[in-house]
A and B are shown apart, each in its own frame.
Chain A
Amino acid sequence: MTTNLPTRPFQSSVAIEDITGLKERSLGQRLLASQPFWVTIALIIMCAVMTWDQPDAFASADNFYNITRNFAFIGIMAVGMTAVILTGGIDLSVGSLMGLVGVVCGLVLQAGYHWAAAVLAGLFAGGAAGAVNGLLIAYVGLPAFVVTLGMLSVARSLAIVLSENKMIYEFGPWGDTFNALGGGSVLGIANPVWTLLVLALVFGFVFNATAWGNYLYAIGSNENAARLTGVPVRRIKLQAYIVSGLTAALASVLIVGWQGSAINALGQGYELRVIASTVIGGADLMGGQGSAYGAVVGAALIEVIRNSLLMAGVDSNWQGAFVGLFIVLAVLLQRIRGKRSA
């Protein structure tokens, strides 16, 4: 009996080296699959429509200045929050930390100390509160949601006690310099925006190019695997919460300077806007996914929506509904993309 089967043993026409050298997806494909890219598109479309609709009001230099400054505060915190969310955690205390840090800065200035002392005291307060969060979460093993919810309450209460429930606006001899930090501008762009830009670049680099950034993704992706392969999981988590506390403090220093007064209610409800920014920018609350650029563009989108609604004459009470809609849409988009790539 004869067969037509080839007698030569099967040989693969491609060498393994050819395959192992392949990139999974081209740059274009990766861009199309990334959430921040689509949010950027949405942002551009929204700006284009508003510019066409209200060329005088929306596309003015003044409005640009206002919008960018407004989202800079949220953006700064969102970048720090991204570090926490990458590990699969959450930090609900950032809004309250703003209040506490603001009061601390105000009191230091009121007592007549140097502006740098006020900034350092503020950053120290934020970092210390973040460290308490991190220690309880990483070393004691309590759930992040509960610990930071507790800190939300404690920090706000401390702010009220320290300020004796009064507004602090007499900033002493260094008040003007302090106010210029957050309220001033360089080359026509507000200082908080420059701060956000630098922070986003630094953290974009840290998340992508350093072992520390890589560990954040690893912990959020599979904490047990990270531990088994020798990643210092606890230390990294602690550091992530300190980073989040520090960025909240930084945002608070700038916002107090801009407003020229410190109130203990500063930052109330901001934690939700910060988390919303990171989620719209593609961060996964289960961990392992997110980026610094996404956090910034998410914050920008929320502010542009708010601003546009205001300009379009929509009752400002509708803002919450629209922002909420976008959060859900963003997660929906993520889910759909996730299904396709899985």
Chain B
Amino acid sequence: MALLELQGIAKHFGAIEALKGVDLSIQAGEVVGLMGDNGAGKSTLVRVIAGNFRPSEGEIRIEGQTKHFHKPVDARAEGIEVVYQDLALCDNLTAAANVFLGREMKRRIGPIKILDYAAMYARVAELFSELKSETRPRDLVRQMSGGQRQAVAIARTRLSDARIVLMDEPTAAISVRQVAEVLGLIRRLRDKGIAVVLISHRMPDVFAVSDRVVVMRRGTKVADKSVNQTSPEEVTGLITGAIHTA
């Protein structure tokens, strides 16, 4: 049974049809590259999955059960986490404080609850070594490289034991060395049985790490192929519309 299944998802904004009958199924431990030109419907699709938008038509099923997400919190309760393009990090806080933001570990001293820094540093250090990222829990995020910042945002999804991680352009605007680092992080998530949806414009990154490539054009899914059975050239053609369907 698929971990996440979308059936006939459509989304209208007034007269604009952002999504038209999209079907998609994702297995646990699968990395799916989601590609398409600007305005193809990638972001809308991701927002439907993440609970930001309610679909106008269609069904979302998780392990076979139909779900209705009214708010992002509902999706998060089902183990769906989003790593936003701007990462939603607080620059003035440490890596550990960012990972635990909104769900801090606390210790009780008499009537007051105080933050348990030692436990949080230890847990975050554990998460980073699990991700094999050389990121220090006590560093301020402001001083970190793009790859390390991604690691902080990804560690946050690990903390909540997410089953599906949606990543919005994680490799845009970072250096080549850091791209390798981030792709490594994605593989580590996959090895833990987490499904990753990778939204990206960068063809080499998608082909390096994905099991499957899904191409969107004008609100419909035009291709859904294993990376072994397609090529960057074909995907480019599908994105631009030079090739109609595959």
Contact = CB atoms under 8 A, between A and B. Distances in A.
B129 A20 contact: yes
B91 A211 contact: no
A217 B125 contact: no
A228 B84 contact: yes
Given A217-B90, A228-B72, A289-B92, 13 more contacts: A16-B129, A16-B132, A16-B134, A210-B115, A211-B106, A211-B115, A214-B101, A222-B89, A226-B102, A229-B88, A288-B90, A341-B142, A342-B143
Contacts of A22: 136, 138
Q: Categorize the interface residue count of chain A.
A: 20 to 34
B89 A225 contact: yes
B104 A228 contact: no
A157 interface: no
Interface in A1-24: 16-17, 19-24
A57 to B, nearest CB: 43
12 contacts: A20-B128, A24-B94, A210-B115, A211-B104, A217-B93, A222-B88, A225-B87, A228-B84, A229-B88, A229-B156, A288-B90, A342-B143
A225 B134 contact: no
Interface in A172-228: 209-211, 214, 217-218, 220-222, 224-226, 228
Contacts of B73: 230
A289 B142 CA distance: 13
Q: Categorize the interface residue count of chain B.
A: 35 or more
B103 interface: yes
A17 B113 contact: no
B137 A20 contact: yes
A340 to B, nearest CB: 11
B88 A19 contact: no
Interface of B: 72-73, 84, 87-94, 97, 101-104, 106, 112-115, 124-125, 128-129, 132-140, 142-143, 156
A contact face: mostly helix, strand, loop, or mixed: helix
B103 to A, nearest CB: 7
Interface of A: 16-17, 19-24, 209-211, 214, 217-218, 220-222, 224-226, 228-231, 288-289, 341-342
A16 B128 contact: yes
Contacts of A228: 72, 84, 88
B114 A218 contact: no
Given A16-B128, A19-B134, A221-B92, A226 B101 contact: yes
A144 B242 CA distance: 53
Nearest to B143: A341
B156 to A, nearest CB: 8
A318 to B, nearest CB: 36
Nearest to B76: A230
Q: Which of A17, A21, A221, A230 is packed against the most chain B CB atoms within 10 Å?
A: A221
Contacts of B134: 16, 19-20
B138 A221 contact: no
